[in-house]
Every structure is written in structure tokens, then in C-alpha cells.
């Protein structure tokens, strides 16, 4: 039966995430936006709390994603499953209502953790599951074209020797380990790209510098260098075989899990901006009437209605993508639709909220201007707007990546 | 509006508007002569005649359709209402099995009966003979009527209504409007009718010969707010007297029964049951940019006398407010179905059409438009489903309806626009249906009433 409300059974989880966002993130939001590169020590306590929640099976308050196989039983939900994917999305929305950058800085909630959760075997999960893992894909010479990985992993005895440079690594300095994409054989193309866990302190692994950014300044973005960096063979995630037929699927699979999460970040951030703008407009005497035709209302109210409508679409697309994952339905198309809609909506919404609020929004006296800066990355990382459009278009048109470039 | 000094020149060079100079007379004369010679040479005589015919019809006013006499059948002790469906509270995008079956049936009907007839019905500004009867056989007017009153309904389901409207519009929006117009009236009676009104009117809607009927909220004015109708209802010793004009009423000339909104003096907006053969009703056709297959028209109410039993849903404005919202949701569903038709149509087109030696879909400028159509369409659909699901569960749904309407109005129109653009010049011709969908989708943001879920 069609029901698109937030399930009541996640009420406690959502409330916990909201409390954390409201009581931990919001008060220090401006502080760490100003103090770029300084570590938000306030997060350590919260991270410990979330570890506790995750081990008790509640989960969902971070960006750690889901390990396959622990979704709730369908029978409880009347024929459909509302499991960990949906819970994680809903938790992420609440946390990012607080602060996206601080969520990205949460210990043990990195995107590397999502990758490990998705593809690690049991032995690897035991070794790396409790670590804070960053994700290193992008290199100076490529961005969206992930198959162009130039970092190499050369087998040598019981080890792989990594060589190359990685950029845009979120929490690359703070994390305990980094999941690195590298090629076993550059002549074999994308099929040879594998992911490797490199622990901090491994000789040959160096943090070169941290970026200065437009937004999400509380979240560190590192440049990493691997110079004859040796890791044990057991640190390769998934299979070491180069299967040309299966190609890229193994590593790309991670994205199906993480894209709805980035969409959820956008939904949470956009809601924060909409809520503040609604209050600011009300103080200025403008309130939205949902029954009155938009064109018969104040232009600011009509604009607000338009922004809120796009937000609703982004939110429902995101929930649907997560719900499909919970129900074991392939959701690559829906995940990309959610990421595309949420990414473009969050920049539009936050920028226009700043405009609607005037200097109240543009000055640092409120968080609206910060949210408009933070928003932009959400239309870029984990696949830019254009990459999502490519994925959606290829699926709808039935085209291969060779045909529709 | 009277012209203020300077206003006439706002969009043209000084002195041009309003007066025809010597050059203007010459051009106009030439146009008349050349036009008439050209007509026969390029075979345009027939289409022009049709335009003349239609404008004649626009000028033509007729009394309301001669309606059957609606007689009260066996009256229930209290009005029959459908029960609320109960949800487990789980997030779920899957329709029930029954809804899937209904949607599948309507999809087949739309594919076989609506799409092939759509172009001609658009030209003729009328549905093909017998179509409304076939739609009635399908049960579109009976699913929303409680079983006690001979309908097929067991649970109140706005979602089912949305799914039906969506699948109908996937065939054709104008014909969908024609087919669904009577069900707006039967649904209104099921939702707000008292026992007498249900006993009088509903049997006809579940019987063999379902009457044409229409929900008339819209009025011919800019910035129209359906909660503030300009049609006036005055109290008389034996009931009410209605005066005013309703616009874009589907099946206007053939409808036997209208549900009309009016401002009831002293108590605010309300709904009234108005039989078409009442004295003081005249109907004129009002063909428009789109939705032409639904034979839209204006209904003039000139001192129409109604009995006290004509008031539908009481004097509070709750019924009208809910009616406006549920009608907007039905328009959302029509937009979703039409936008889906656009997507279904452009995909094979851009894959087959070649330029510069390869399918145009291999170009990002084309492919990304298709991606955006798909993405926005899914957002429109989910927002509409959510609002409808809240409505049927008895949850507040004003906000969700407004958001769905905004999405379907804005993105629905953008999809109609892109649909034509993707076909280029071919999209502009009547060889392809995208130009019709472009015209139809313009209606979504401005229409009120006419359909109901």
C-alpha cells in the first residue's frame, strides 16, 4: 500500500540524530567554519555514542552505510522492508540539518567505512570495521572519469606496492585508514582497478597538504602521496582477479550505496535553510498559504513554495532509492536520480534562501550563507550533477558508456 | 481595462498600436485576397471552415443539456461513506495488488481507446461517439462509490483515483478529462452528499447509462482563487438563487448534472448540485489551447433557482476546501500521466533520429534532457502519491498537495516544452502528439475543479 510517510518505527532514531545535530553540531557550526583545519574535538564524545548505538543495532545516525544482510524483516512492515538503508538516510538527513561538514568529520563514519561495509569479507571486516576509513579515488589528472586511475598496485611477494597521488580525500589526515583505488595492471583498463586499505603510519604513505575550500570547511580535504607504499595482500577489498567481463562493477557498487547518502545530506541541509528562511520571512510579514494559488501570494511566498516543492521531490526520491536497497531491488537509476535532483536543488534552495533573507542571509550573523557555501560540494562529490545525468540518461535510453559518452 | 497614458506603447514603437495607417490597410486587404486564393491551392479550405465553425459555436449559446429526471431511489438511514484504508506505517511505494490490477486495466484502455482517438478528438473538440459509455463500463465512475450504493468501492482511496487518472492521461489528457469528468461528480457525492442526495443522484452513476456530469469550480478571471468564487448564491424562501459564470467546464454542453461552487451570502463558499435543465442555465462552448477533446465550455448561471436540498457538504467551507485540494491532486495525476507519455515517446525518437552520423541521443545536450525529464517526472509522481496517500489516511494534506501541484505545474510544463524541443520541427507538427501534450500540460497550473480523486 502506498504510504510515503517517515516510518514511525524510526522515530527514536531520528530524534536522537536530531538532538545530536541540534545540541552538538549547531553550536559549533560557525566555530569550525572559521577555524578551518582544526580538529573538532567535540565530535569524539558523539562518535563514541554513535558506536554504541550502531553496536546495539539501532544504527543510522552516521554515514557508515549498510553491510548487506541485516535489513529488517518484511513481515513487520506489511510486505515491504524498511531497513538499515532507509534508517541511515533518515539519520543522515537529521545530522546534516545540523552540519554537513561536521558529519563528514565524524570519526568512523567516513565513506571508506561505507566501502568496507559494502565489499569487505568477514576477516577484513573484523580488522577494519572499527577503524575510521577515508576514501581516496580522485587524482590530479582525473575527476569524474574514475576508470582513469593512475595509481598503481604492483604485487611483490605477500604485498602490493602502491605508487601515486590522490586528491580530495575527505578526512584523509584524521582517519585511521584510507581505502585507495589503484590499478593492478594499467593495460587492462577498468577491470584492473581494485580498492586497498592503507593504514595510517604505513611507510611511504604521506599527507602532502590540506585544501582551503569554499564550504564544508570543518571537514578536512587532504592530498595524499603513496611512494613505494607496501600493504599486505589481505588489504585488497574484494577479489584480486582481473575479470574483464565484470569490469568495474565491484568498485562502482560502492556508489549505489553512497549516492543516496549524499542526496540525504543535501535534503537535510536544504531543510535547515528552508526552516530559517520561513522564520525570517514570517518575521517580515510573509507567510505561505498552501491553499491559495502561488501567483496570488507575495512573490517571496511563491518562491518559497517552489523551493519547498523541489525539496519534497528530492527527499522522496532519496527515500525511495534507500527503500529499494532495503528491498533488494537494483537502485542504480533511482540513486542517481536522487543525487541529481538533491544536488541541484540544494544549491538552488540555499542560494535563493540567502537572497530572500537579504543581508540577514548574506552576513555571517546567520548560518544561511555558510549553508549556501556548504551546499555546492553536494552537487559535485560522489559523482557530479553531469555524471548523474549521464547515468540516468544511459539507463533510460538503453545506451552503453561507449555510445553515450 | 482602460488605457493609461503611455501604457499602449509599452511593447511597441510610439504611435503604432491602436491605429491602422495607410500601410496597414493595404496589408490587410492584400492578406484577404491572397488568403482566399491560397486556400484552395494548398487545400486549407476545410481546416479554415472548421475554425469558422468553432468560433460560431463559441458564439452560440444553448440551454443546458436536457437531463433525465433524477429520482430518489431507496434512501439509506445515513449517507454511505467509504472507510479509511489502514497503513502499517511502513514507507512503501508499491500500490496494492488491487490497485495494480486497476491501473493495468486502465492502461490498456488508454492505450487502445484514448491514444488512437486523441488527435481526431482534439481537432473535433469532442470525444468519439460511445467513448464515455465505454469508460463508464470500465467502472471509472463506480470505484469511488460505496458498495451500499451500488458502487465498487470498499475503501476510500485517493491513491486509486490518482493511479486511474495517471494511466488515463498516459493515453491522452483531453480524453482522460472527458472520461473522468462524471466521476468527479460521483466522487463528490460519495464524499459529501447526504443520504437524500446520494439516493437521488448516485444510482445513475452506477447504472447502465451514466450521465455526463461536471465539477465546475473554475471561473473566467486572472488570479482566480477557487476558495473565493464570484458566482453568488443568495438565499430564497425555498432554497437558493445562483448567478455567475463558470469556465472550462468539461462536457459542458452535454452534462446533465453540475457540482458548482458559489459564494453563499452570509456563510462563505459552498458547493451546489445543479441539474442542467434548470431555468437560467446557458452553456456555450469554450474551446481552448488544449484539453479540447473534453468539449470544455462556459456555464452561465442567471438567476438559477435551486431547492434547499441542493447544498452539497453543508454551509461550512470544509467540503469546498477539500474539493479544491483533491481536484488539484487529480490534475497532478493527469500531469504525471501526460509527462510519462512524453518520456515514452521521446526515448525511441531520439534513439532512432540521426544527425551527424549517429543517433541524437548520443549527444549529452539531448540525453541530459531525457535524464531530467525522467528525474523530475519521478519526483512529481512521488509527491502526488504522498499527498494522495495522506488524504486517504485522513492526515492533513494541504501542504503536500500544494507541493505536488507546484512540482507538476512547473516541471510538467517544462517536460511538455522539452518534448517538443527534442523532436525539433517535427515536434511542432501534428504528425506527432508532443505538440498536443505541450498544449495540454499548460492547463495543469491554472485549472481548478473538473476532476477529483
User: Among all residues of chain A, which has the CA nearest to that of B321?
Assistant: A291
Closest-CA distance of chain A to residue B150, Å = 25
Q: How much is the pLDDT for B188?
A: 96
Residue A86 is assigned to a structural domain of this protein: yes
Q: What's the CATH code of the domain at A154? A: 2.40.110.10
Which of B325, B359, B406 is facing A309, going by the closest CB pair? B406
Interface touch A399/B88, C-beta < 8 Å? no
Q: How much is the pLDDT for A69?
A: 41
> Which position has the higher pLDDT, B54 or A155?
A155
Q: How confident is the model at residue A114 (pLDDT cuts 50, 70, 90)?
A: confident
Residue A402 is assigned to a structural domain of this protein: no
Q: Is B223 in a helix, a strand, or coil?
A: coil
**Chain A interface, mutation test: which of B84, B86, B92, B356, most A Cβ atoms within 10 Å?**
B92
Residue A20 is assigned to a structural domain of this protein: yes
* Cell output for B434: 508532443
Q: How confident is the model at residue B3 (pLDDT cuts 50, 70, 90)?
A: very low
Q: What mean pLDDT comes out for the span A126-153?
A: 90
Interface touch A9/B398, C-beta < 8 Å? no
Q: Report how far residue B327's alpha carbon sits from residue B312's, in angstroms, rounded to the nearest whole number.
A: 16
Closest-CA distance of chain A to residue B442, Å = 15
Residue A404 is assigned to a structural domain of this protein: no
Please check whether residue A280 touches B, CB under 8 A.
no
Indicate whether A189 and A321 sit together in one domain: no
Q: What's the CATH code of the domain at A53? A: 1.10.540
Please check whether residue B365 touches A, CB under 8 A.
no
Question: First and final CA of chain A: distance in angstroms?
Answer: 39
Asked if A150 and A182 count as a contact pair (C-beta separation under 8 A), the reply is no
In sequence order, the 6+-apart residues with CB closer than 8 A to the CB of B118 are: B171, B172, B174, B175, B293, B433, B436
Q: What mean pLDDT comes out for the span A63-67?
A: 43
Strand pairing class (A221-232; A236-237)? unpaired
Phi, psi of B277 (to 5 degrees): -90, 15
Phi, psi of A52 (to 5 degrees): -60, -45
Full-model pTM? 0.91
Indicate whether A95 and A158 sit together in one domain: no
Percent of chain A scoring above 90 in pLDDT: 76
Indicate whether A47 and A94 sit together in one domain: yes
Residue A244 is assigned to a structural domain of this protein: no
A382 catalytic? Reply is yes
In sequence order, the 6+-apart residues with CB closer than 8 A to the CB of B234 are: B240, B241, B243, B265
Indicate whether A256 and A334 sit together in one domain: yes
Please check whether residue B406 touches A, CB under 8 A.
yes
User: Among all residues of chain B, which has the CA nearest to that of A340?
Assistant: B375
Interface touch B375/A305, C-beta < 8 Å? no
Residue that is last in its domain, among A85, A119, A153:
A119
Q: Report how far residue B351's alpha carbon sits from residue B365's, in angstroms, rounded to the nearest whole number.
A: 13
Strand pairing class (A177-183; A133-136)? parallel
Q: Report how far residue A110's alpha carbon sits from residue B111's, in angstroms, rounded to the nearest whole number.
A: 49
Is it the case that residue B7 has pLDDT exceeding 50?
no
**Chain B interface, mutation test: which of A397, A399, A404, A405, most B Cβ atoms within 10 Å?**
A397
Q: Which residues of A touch B225 (CB under 8 A)?
A: 292-293, 296
Q: Name the average pLDDT for chain B.
A: 89
Indicate whether A67 and A95 sit together in one domain: yes
Q: What's the CATH code of the domain at A307? A: 1.20.140.10
User: Among all residues of chain B, which has the CA nearest to that of A310?
Assistant: B407
Asked if A105 and A165 count as a contact pair (C-beta separation under 8 A), the reply is no
Is it the case that residue A141 has pLDDT exceeding 80?
yes
Segment 359-388 of chain A within 8 Å of chain B by CB: 386, 388
**What are chain B's domains?**
97-211 (1.10.540.10), 232-312 (2.40.110.10), 318-441 (1.20.140.10)
**Count of C-beta atoms within a 10 Å radius of residue A288:** 20
Q: Which residues of A touch B90 (CB under 8 A)?
A: 3, 7, 76-78, 80, 82
Q: What mean pLDDT comes out for the span B295-311?
A: 97
Indicate whether A104 and A173 sit together in one domain: no
Residues A283, A285, A286, A291: what is their CA dihedral angle, to the nearest 10 degrees? 120
Closest-CA distance of chain A to residue B210, Å = 30
Phi-psi domain of A358 (left: phi exceeds 0; alpha: psi -120 through 50; beta: other): left
Is it the case that residue B380 has pLDDT exceeding 90?
yes
> Which position has the higher pLDDT, A190 or B195?
B195
Q: Report how far residue A63's alpha carbon sits from residue B301's, in angstroms, rounded to the nearest whole number.
A: 62
Q: How much is the pLDDT for A67?
A: 43
Q: Which of A37-41, A343-347, B151-155, B324-328 has the lowest mean pLDDT?
A: B151-155
Segment 144-203 of chain B within 8 Å of chain A by CB: 159
Residue A124 is assigned to a structural domain of this protein: no
Is it the case that residue B221 has pLDDT exceeding 50?
yes
Indicate whether A290 and A164 sit together in one domain: no
Interface touch B407/A319, C-beta < 8 Å? no
Strand pairing class (B213-216; B311-312)? unpaired
Give B256's DSSP letter: S
Residue A357 is assigned to a structural domain of this protein: yes
Q: How much is the pLDDT for A404?
A: 95
Indicate whether A213 and A154 sit together in one domain: yes
Which of B92, B398, B401 is facing A1, going by the closest CB pair? B92
Q: What mean pLDDT comes out for the span A369-380?
A: 98
Question: What percent helix, strand, coil does chain B show, rounded to 5?
Answer: 50, 15, 35
Indicate whether A233 and A254 sit together in one domain: no
Q: Name the average pLDDT for chain A.
A: 90
> Which position has the higher pLDDT, B396 or A250?
B396
Percent of chain B scoring above 70 in pLDDT: 86
Indicate whether A297 and A333 sit together in one domain: yes
* Residues pairing with B285 in the sheet: B297
Interface touch B89/A386, C-beta < 8 Å? no
Indicate whether A110 and A147 sit together in one domain: no
Q: What mean pLDDT comes out for the span A378-396?
A: 96
Residue that is last in its domain, among A237, A267, A297:
A237
Asked if B126 and B152 count as a contact pair (C-beta separation under 8 A), the reply is no
The per-residue pLDDT for range B97-136, each reduced to its tens digit, is 999 999 999 999 999 999 999 999 999 999 999 999 999 9
**Number of independent structural domains in chain A:** 3
Q: How much is the pLDDT for B248?
A: 98
In sequence order, the 6+-apart residues with CB closer than 8 A to the CB of B22 are: none
Q: How confident is the model at residue A332 (pLDDT cuts 50, 70, 90)?
A: very high
Q: Which of A164-168, A215-219, B40-44, B99-103 has the lowest mean pLDDT?
A: B40-44
User: Among all residues of chain A, which has the CA nearest to that of B397?
Assistant: A290
Indicate whether A109 and A135 sit together in one domain: no
Residue that is last in its domain, among A55, A90, A119:
A119
A–B interface: beta-carbon pairs under 8 A: 180
Interface touch B380/A305, C-beta < 8 Å? no
Q: Report how far residue B94's alpha carbon sits from residue B260's, in angstroms, rounded to the nearest whole number.
A: 35
Q: What mean pLDDT comes out for the span B191-220?
A: 94
Residue A125 is assigned to a structural domain of this protein: no
Q: Report how far residue B231's alpha carbon sits from residue B240's, in angstroms, rounded to the nearest whole number.
A: 12
Q: Report how far residue B451's alpha carbon sits from residue B447's, in angstroms, rounded to the nearest whole number.
A: 10
Which of A7, A305, A394 is facing B91, going by the closest CB pair? A7
Q: How confident is the model at residue A254 (pLDDT cuts 50, 70, 90)?
A: low
Active-site pick, A66, A165, A369, A382:
A382
Q: Which residues of A touch B395 (CB under 8 A)?
A: 5
Q: How much is the pLDDT for A395?
A: 97
Q: Which of B34-43, B237-246, B392-401, B408-417 has the lowest mean pLDDT?
A: B34-43
Segment 79-98 of chain A within 8 Å of chain B by CB: 79-80, 82, 86
Q: How confident is the model at residue B69 (pLDDT cuts 50, 70, 90)?
A: confident
Q: How confident is the model at residue B373 (pLDDT cuts 50, 70, 90)?
A: very high
Domain boundaries, position A253 = 249-397
Asked if A183 and A153 count as a contact pair (C-beta separation under 8 A), the reply is yes
Q: How confident is the model at residue B58 (pLDDT cuts 50, 70, 90)?
A: very low
Is it the case that residue B422 has pLDDT exceeding 50?
yes
Amino acid at each position: 500500500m502506498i504510504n510515503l510517510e517517515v516510518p514511525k518505527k524510526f522515530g527514536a532514531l531520528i530524534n536522537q540524530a536530531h538532538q545530536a545535530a541540534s545540541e552538538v553540531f549547531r553550536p559549533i557550526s560557525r566555530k569550525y567554519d572559521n577555524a578551518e583545519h582544526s580538529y573538532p574535538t567535540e565530535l569524539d564524545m558523539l562518535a563514541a555514542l554513535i558506536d554504541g548505538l550502531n553496536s546495539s543495532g539501532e544504527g543510522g545516525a552516521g554515514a557508515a552505510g549498510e553491510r548487506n544482510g541485516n535489513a529488517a524483516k518484511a513481515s513487520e512492515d506489511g510486505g515491504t522492508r524498511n531497513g538499515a538503508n532507509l534508517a541511515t538516510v533518515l539519520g543522515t538527513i537529521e545530522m546534516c540539518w545540523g552540519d554537513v561538514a561536521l558529519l563528514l568529520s565524524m570519526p568512523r563514519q567516513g565513506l571508506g567505512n561505507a566501502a568496507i561495509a559494502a565489499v569487505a569479507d568477514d576477516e577484513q571486516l573484523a580488522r577494519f570495521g572499527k577503524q575510521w576509513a577515508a576514501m581516496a579515488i580522485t587524482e590530479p589528472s582525473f575527476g569524474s572519469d574514475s576508470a582513469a586511475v593512475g595509481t598503481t598496485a604492483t604485487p611483490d611477494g605477500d604485498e602490493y606496492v602502491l605508487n601515486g597521488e590522490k586528491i580530495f580525500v575527505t578526512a584523509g589526515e584524521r582517519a585511521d585508514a584510507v581505502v585507495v583505488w589503484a590499478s593492478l595492471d594499467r593495460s587492462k583498463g577498468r577491470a584492473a582497478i581494485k580498492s586497498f586499505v592503507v593504514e595510517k603510519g604505513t611507510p611511504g604513505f604521506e599527507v602532502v597538504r590540506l585544501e582551503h575550500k569554499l564550504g564544508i570547511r570543518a571537514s578536512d580535504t587532504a592530498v595524499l602521496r603513496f611512494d613505494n607504499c607496501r600493504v599486505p595482500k589481505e588489504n585488497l577489498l574484494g577479489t584480486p582477479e582481473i575479470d574483464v567481463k565484470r569490469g568495474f562493477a565491484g568498485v562502482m557498487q560502492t556508489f549505489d550505496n553512497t549516492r543516496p547518502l549524499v542526496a540525504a545530506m543535501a535534503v537535510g541541509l536544504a531543510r535547515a535553510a528552508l526552516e530559517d528562511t520561513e522564520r525570517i520571512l514570517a518575521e517580515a510579514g510573509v507567510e505561505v498559504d498552501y491553499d491559495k494559488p502561488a501567483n496570488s501570494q507575495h512573490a517571496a511566498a511563491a518562491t518559497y513554495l517552489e523551493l519547498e516543492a523541489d525539496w519534497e521531490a528530492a527527499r522522496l526520491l532519496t527515500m525511495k532509492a534507500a527503500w529499494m536497497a532495503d528491498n533488494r531491488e537494483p537502485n542504480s537509476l533511482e540513486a542517481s536520480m536522487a543525487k541529481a535532483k538533491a544536488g541541484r536543488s540544494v544549491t538552488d534552495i540555499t542560494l535563493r534562501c540567502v537572497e530572500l533573507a537579504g543581508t540577514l542571509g548574506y552576513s555571517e550573523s546567520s548560518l544561511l550563507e555558510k549553508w549556501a557555501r556548504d551546499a555546492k560540494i553536494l552537487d559535485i562529490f560522489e559523482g557530479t550533477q553531469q555524471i548523474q545525468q549521464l547515468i540516468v540518461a544511459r539507463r533510460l535510453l538503453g545506451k552503453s558508456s561507449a555510445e553515450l559518452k | 481595462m482602460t488605457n493609461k497614458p503611455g501604457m499602449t506603447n509599452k511593447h511597441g514603437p510610439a504611435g503604432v498600436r491602436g491605429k491602422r495607417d495607410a500601410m496597414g490597410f493595404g496589408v490587410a486587404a492584400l492578406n484577404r485576397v491572397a488568403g482566399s486564393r491560397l486556400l484552395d491551392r494548398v487545400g486549407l479550405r476545410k481546416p479554415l471552415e472548421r475554425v469558422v465553425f468553432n468560433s460560431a459555436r463559441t458564439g452560440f449559446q444553448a440551454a443546458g443539456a436536457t437531463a433525465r429526471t433524477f429520482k430518489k431511489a431507496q434512501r439509506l438511514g445515513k449517507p454511505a461513506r467509504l472507510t479509511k484504508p489502514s497503513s502499517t506505517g511502513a514507507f512503501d511505494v508499491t500500490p496494492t495488488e488491487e490497485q495494480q490490477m486497476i491501473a493495468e486495466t486502465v492502461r490498456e484502455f488508454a492505450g487502445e481507446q484514448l491514444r488512437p482517438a486523441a488527435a481526431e478528438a482534439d481537432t473535433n473538440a469532442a470525444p468519439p461517439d460511445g467513448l464515455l459509455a465505454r469508460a463508464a463500463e470500465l467502472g471509472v465512475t463506480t470505484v469511488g462509490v460505496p458498495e451500499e450504493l451500488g458502487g465498487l468501492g470498499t475503501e476510500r482511496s485517493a491513491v486509486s483515483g490518482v493511479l486511474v487518472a495517471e494511466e488515463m492521461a498516459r493515453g491522452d489528457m483531453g480524453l482522460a478529462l472527458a472520461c473522468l469528468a462524471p466521476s468527479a461528480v460521483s466522487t463528490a457525492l460519495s464524499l459529501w452528499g447526504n443520504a437524500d442526495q446520494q439516493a437521488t443522484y448516485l444510482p445513475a452513476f452506477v447504472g447502465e447509462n451514466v450521465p455526463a456530469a461536471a465539477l465546475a469550480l473554475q471561473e473566467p478571471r486572472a488570479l482566480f482563487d477557487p476558495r473565493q468564487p464570484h458566482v453568488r448564491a443568495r438565499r430564497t424562501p425555498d432554497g437558493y438563487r445562483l448567478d455567475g459564470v463558470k469556465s472550462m467546464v468539461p462536457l459542458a454542453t452535454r452534462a446533465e448534472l453540475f457540482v458548482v461552487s458559489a459564494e453563499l451570502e452570509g456563510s462563505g463558499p459552498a458547493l451546489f448540485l445543479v441539474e442542467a435543465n434548470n431555468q437560467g442555465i446557458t452553456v456555450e462552448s469554450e474551446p481552448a489551447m488544449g484539453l479540447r477533446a473534453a468539449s470544455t465550455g462556459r456555464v452561465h448561471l442567471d438567476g438559477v433557482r435551486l431547492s434547499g436540498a441542493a447544498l452539497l457538504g453543508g454551509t461550512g467551507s470544509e467540503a469546498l476546501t477539500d474539493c479544491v485540494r483533491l481536484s488539484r491532486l487529480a490534475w497532478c495525476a493527469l500531469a504525471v500521466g501526460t509527462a510519462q507519455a512524453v518520456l515514452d515517446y521521446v526515448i525511441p525518437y531520439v534513439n532512432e533520429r540521426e544527425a551527424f552520423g549517429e543517433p541524437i541521443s548520443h549527444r549529452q545536450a539531448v540525453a541530459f534532457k531525457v535524464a531530467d525529464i525522467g528525474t523530475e517526472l519521478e519526483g512529481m509522481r512521488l509527491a502526488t502519491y504522498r499527498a494522495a496517500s495522506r488524504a486517504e489516511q485522513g492526515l492533513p494534506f494541504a501542504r503536500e498537495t500544494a507541493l505536488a501541484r507546484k512540482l507538476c505545474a512547473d516541471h510538467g510544463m517544462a517536460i511538455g516544452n522539452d518534448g517538443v524541443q527534442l523532436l525539433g520541427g517535427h515536434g511542432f507538427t501534428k504528425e506527432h502528439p508532443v505538440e498536443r501534450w505541450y498544449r495540454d500540460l499548460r492547463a495543469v497550473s491554472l485549472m481548478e475543479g473538473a476532476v477529483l480523486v
